[in-house]
Amino acid sequence: MFDEPLFRYMLNRRHLSMSVVADRLGVNEVTLYRKIKGKSDFSRAEIQALKTILGMTTDECVRVFFAD
């Protein structure tokens, strides 16, 4: 399960907007919102890219994308 509050914290920590992250990820903003809301899944490549974009540690990445 995706941890949206932690993801948004990561965005704020890097002073990034959803539109900037979507652009860097190579998707439109609507697609990113759908993935965050669980309407579609993040691919492995997207998770790896977000880890880099947001400067997440491996532990943070696991907590965001694979939360209980």
On whether the CB atoms of residues 61 and 1 are closer than 8 A, the answer is: no
- Topology of the domain comprising 4-65: 434 Repressor (Amino-terminal Domain) (1.10.260)
Q: pLDDT band at 68, cuts 50/70/90?
A: confident
What global pTM score does this model have? 0.89
Distance CA(52)–CA(54), nearest Å, equals 5
Distance CA(35)–CA(38), nearest Å, equals 5
What residue spans define the domains of the chain? 4-65
DSSP state of 17: -
What tens digit of pLDDT does each residue of 19-39 get? 999 999 999 999 999 999 999
